[in-house]
Amino acid sequence: MTTPLLVALGGFFGAVARYAVSRWAARRSPRFPLGTLIVNLLGSFLLGWLAGSGAADATKLLVGTGFMGAFTTFSTLKWESVQMMQQRQWTKAIAYLAATYLLGGCLAWIGYHVGR
């Protein structure tokens, strides 16, 4: 019973944090999905850090599965990318996807090594 509660608690705070970051970013960048990019890149780094940190299983459930699972978003990334493509904003779509995947992978790697 403890495992689902840890994941749920982390998920609650992750969802609230994602909402706050998205609202903040939307005010600063209304034409680009900066909020999704920020949460996904930050989440990549933090998950890498968590994986390298040797954290206890309960911490991995709370922070990794719960918080980061709700904080980061693959579905929103895809939806925003499709919208850009439908609007023929090819450069923006490619830059968004490239930044997410390339920087995300790099930040996860860096986070892992920082965590070690």
* Residue 69, marked binder: yes
Query: Residue 105 — very low, low, confident or very high, per pLDDT cuts 50/70/90?
Result: very high
Task: Check the annotation: does 65 bind a ligand.
Answer: no
List pLDDT tens digits, range 6-35: 999 999 999 999 999 999 999 999 999 999
| Inter-residue contact 63 to 9 (CB < 8 Å) | no
With a cut of 70, say whether residue 1 has pLDDT above it. no
| 8 Å CB contact between 116 and 52 | yes
Tracing tokens 């998205």 back to the chain, one arrives at: 22
In 3-state terms, what secondary structure has residue 116?
coil
State if pTM tops 0.85.
yes
Q: What percent of the chain has pLDDT over 70?
A: 99
Q: Which of 45, 98, 40 is nearest to 69 (CA)?
A: 40
CA angle 6/7/9 to nearest 5° reads: 65
pLDDT given for residue 83 in this prediction: 96
- Quickly list DSSP for 31-100: TTTHHHHHHHHHHHHHHHHHHHHT--HHHIIIIIIIIHHHHS-HHHHHHHHHHHHHTT-HHHHHHHHHII
Mean pLDDT, all residues of the chain: 95
